[in-house]
């Protein structure tokens, strides 16, 4: 049984992807519905009826981005053997994402933590989305450390968790600040080395 009514003429996933790219570069406040309409090819009423308000669209993109990001955490922690290997994998894939999978010299960092974070104090929905994402990531890191080092003491566990988390957050900020990729990669390697030494 087919769906009634006139069928959609656009690919929803593609539209969300191009919305996300726009928000990622410009931020929520600097992006207008006209901007979104222009890059997606839809007109404002279509956007509005399909996705709701501008903030709704933004949250849609944030959640899509966060999902891909937490998947990267899961993938790295599931596949690799040692904690250091896992973190190296993780940071490599994060860096690739933060540079928009391209070889551009300028990266955009993290949509959630280098971009949406600006809106947190003035937008409750965005704020709680960010806070819960941070929570998921922190727990994911903690769990993966415990899995590999079941007898680790609480102090070391906290130290390594916070170090990994700060590195994760710092990477996005530094990339969006314009730090070049070579320096970023060495920064990530140094963090992983620090973890290694802490556990030695």
Partner DNA sequence: GCATTTATGTACCATTTCGCATTAAAATAA
Partner DNA sequence: TTATTTTAATGCGAAATGGTACATAAATGC
Q: Which does 146 bind (CB under 5 to 8 A by kind): DNA, a copy of itself, none?
A: none
Residue partners of 37: CB distance under 8 A and separation at least 6: 43, 44, 47
Can you tell me which of 19, 87, 130, 145 binds a copy of itself, judged by CB under 8 A? 130
**Distance between CA 75 and CA 29 in Å, rounded?**
33
Query: Minimum distance from CB of 168 to a copy of itself (Å)?
Result: 8
Which single residue is written with the structure tokens 């894939």?
A: 93
Query: Minimum distance from CB of 68 to a copy of itself (Å)?
Result: 19
Number of residues that bind a copy of itself (CB under 8 A): 48
Cα angle, residue 167 at apex, residues 157 and 80 outer, rounded to 5°: 65
| Identity of the residue, 54 or 176, whose beta carbon is nearer to DNA in the bound complex | 54
| Identity of the residue, 57 or 160, whose beta carbon is nearer to a copy of itself in the bound complex | 160
The answer to the question of residue 115 lying near a copy of itself (CB under 8 A) is yes
Query: Minimum distance from CB of 11 to DNA (Å)?
Result: 10
Residues that bind DNA in the complex, under the rule CB under 7 A:
1-10, 31-35, 42-46, 48-50, 53-55
Burial status of residue 197 (CB atoms within 10 A of its CB: 0-12, 13-18, 19 or more): exposed
Determine contact, residues 77/144, Cβ cutoff 8 Å.
Answer: yes
């Amino acid at each position: 049984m087919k769906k009634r009514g006139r069928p959609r003429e656009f690919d929803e996933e593609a539209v969300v992807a191009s919305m996300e790219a726009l928000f990622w570069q410009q931020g929520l406040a600097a992006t207008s519905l006209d901007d979104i309409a222009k890059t997606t090819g839809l007109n404002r009423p279509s956007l509005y009826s399909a996705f709701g308000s501008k903030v709704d669209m933004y949250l849609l993109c944030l959640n899509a981005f966060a999902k891909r990001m937490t998947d990267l955490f899961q993938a790295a922690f599931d596949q690799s053997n040692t904690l250091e290997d896992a973190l190296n994998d993780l940071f490599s894939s994060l860096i690739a994402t933060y540079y928009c999978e391209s070889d551009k010299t300028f990266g955009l960092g993290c949509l959630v933590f280098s971009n949406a974070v600006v809106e947190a104090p003035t937008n409750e929905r965005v704020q709680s989305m960010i806070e819960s994402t941070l929570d998921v990531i922190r727990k994911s890191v903690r769990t993966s450390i415990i899995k590999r080092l079941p007898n680790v003491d609480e102090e070391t566990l906290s130290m390594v968790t916070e170090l990994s988390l700060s590195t994760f957050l710092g990477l996005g900020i530094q990339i969006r600040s314009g730090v070049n990729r070579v320096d970023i990669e060495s920064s990530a390697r140094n963090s992983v080395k620090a973890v290694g030494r802490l556990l030695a």
